Every structure is written in C-alpha cells, then in structure tokens.
Amino acid sequence: MGGKGIPNYQRVADDLRARILNGELGPGDKLPTEKELQQQWGYSTTIIKYALALLRSEGLIEGRRGSGNYVRTRPRLTRRAHSRDMRKAMGSTSPFARDSQTAGKKPSWESHSEKIPATPHIAERLGINPGDMVMYTRYRFFADETPIQLSHSYEPLAITGGTPVEYPERGPIVGVVARMDFIGVTIDRFVEEIITRPAMPDEVDALGLDRRGGMWIIAIKRTYYAGETAVETADIVAAGDRYRLVYEVPIDPWSPSNEGERADRAG
C-alpha cells in the first residue's frame, strides 16, 4: 500500500487526512469504524488506534463516546489584521467581537483585571522598569459559547492609571485602540510574533481541547505602540483549528525617490 519505510499507522492517517482535506469527508461526517479500517488495511487494532490518535492530535477529527470518530465541525473566525482595529468602524470596537459577528457567531468573553508589578520579562516588552505597576487582564473569548481564544494583557499604569479606561472592561469603551484614543494616546502600529506549539494542560482545559491528542495552538505575542512607547503587550493563544489569521500588508507606492533608495540598498 505504497510508501516504503512509512509506518503503517502513518499510511492510514495520510489517507484519511487527504479525504478530509479534499472534502470527500466533510465536517460532521462519520469516519469508517476501527473494524472497517482494519478490514480495509489489514492492520492491527493498535495501528488503527495510532492513526486515529494522530488525526485527533491534528484537530481534524473528534471521538464521540459510544458513537465513533467524526470530522470536526469547527467555528471559522477570521482575524483580518489590516482592519481589525479601525477607529471609526460600525459596530463594536472590540476586534474579537467584530471577527465573531463577521463569521455569524455570537461573541462573549470572561475577564479579570488586577494591578501587579511588572516582571522583568514584561517590563522589557513594555520598555518600563521591573516592578513598575501594570494592569494585568486575563481573558477567555467565546464564539457561540465555544471557547476560541485566551489572552493575557499588560498595560503600563503610567499611561492608563487614574483615567476612565484604567480597567479595560469597566470603562466607557473596549478595545485597545479605541480606549487609548479616548484618553488621547494614538496607537499607530502593532508588532506580532506568531508561533505554533503544543497546548499546555491549562490551555487544553480552558479551550476545551481533546485530551487524547496533543492539540496544537497558535501563540501570538503582540505589542501596541504609540510612536516609540509601548502601550500594551499581550500573549494570545487560539485553538489552531478555530481561528484563521489573515494579514494585508501595504506596500509603499512607487516614486522616483524610493526607487533611488532601492538602488542604494541593492548596491
């Protein structure tokens, strides 16, 4: 059955994965039973179980007790980085709320804020001194009651302390950009570092991931700036199969001056 040197469980998983990705098996469809897969491939129960565990770890299928394995039906939220923080957008000033509503989902979230001294790591990201006070807020975001994203946010109290937006979720407006605008701090850019990694045990619990497979998550380290001043930094975790990140990056229009700059760099 092809693929010299390929483990047998990988052959089974590769075949099922291809059928899922090409749409032959769609969201909510039931996979062949373990017995049917054994008969099809001629492999042991252990091999078939390994193959299915691999697909669960990739977030492609889910097991239902007493019923079998099914292709996962996943909420599809798209985060469009070029427009998610528009200042005068219609509707919510919360980027997550806009993403959810665009996908036809009902957004909601839990949050808790407290004032804490900045750790050396967070202080370095914010350009402040270790021990300076920051507002720490942890979030869990839901779309149609499905947990989608976690976030740990840190804001220097030297910027927001004593203002109406000191507590991110208690003031007259939500969303980092809109809140900073409200107090006259104009955010002009944000920087993101994105990796994928296995979910930690607490993340598995908070996001309701399948414990039978080592689920992978998208981890985003994001910092907002007003000029050279960092006004918020956050660690964001999203279930890898529940969020799609789309970036639109503008390219400076051509002009004789920047053509000269390109020539200088090329030289």
pLDDT tens, residue by residue, 114-134:
999 999 999 999 999 999 999
pLDDT at 86 over 50: yes
- What single letter denotes the amino acid at residue 162? G
Task: Place 259 in a pLDDT band, splitting at 50, 70 and 90.
Answer: low
Mean pLDDT of 59-68: 86
pLDDT at 174: 87
In the predicted model, is pLDDT for residue 77 greater than 50? yes
Higher pLDDT, 236 or 196: 236
Q: DSSP code of 209? A: -
pLDDT number for residue 1: 47
Q: Can you give the pLDDT at residue 85?
A: 52
Question: CB of 83 within 8 A of CB of 89?
Answer: yes
**The two structure tokens encoding residue 101:** 């509503």
Percent of the chain residues topping a pLDDT of 70: 84
Which pLDDT score, from 0 to 100, does residue 65 have? Answer: 85
Which among 70-79, 153-162, 232-241 has the top mean pLDDT?
A: 153-162
pLDDT exceeds 90 at position 70? yes
Taking the model in full, what pTM does it have? 0.71
Long-range contacts of 88-96 (CB under 8 A, 24+ apart): 92/174, 92/175, 93/173, 93/174, 93/175, 93/177, 93/178, 94/174, 94/175, 95/175, 96/141, 96/148, 96/149
193: pLDDT strictly greater than 90: yes
Task: Evaluate if residue 223 carries a pLDDT over 70.
Answer: yes
Q: How high does pLDDT run on average in the chain? A: 85
pLDDT, position 255: 65
- Candidates 126, 141, 130; CA nearest to 225 is 126
Q: What percent of the chain has pLDDT over 90?
A: 51
pLDDT at 93 over 80: no
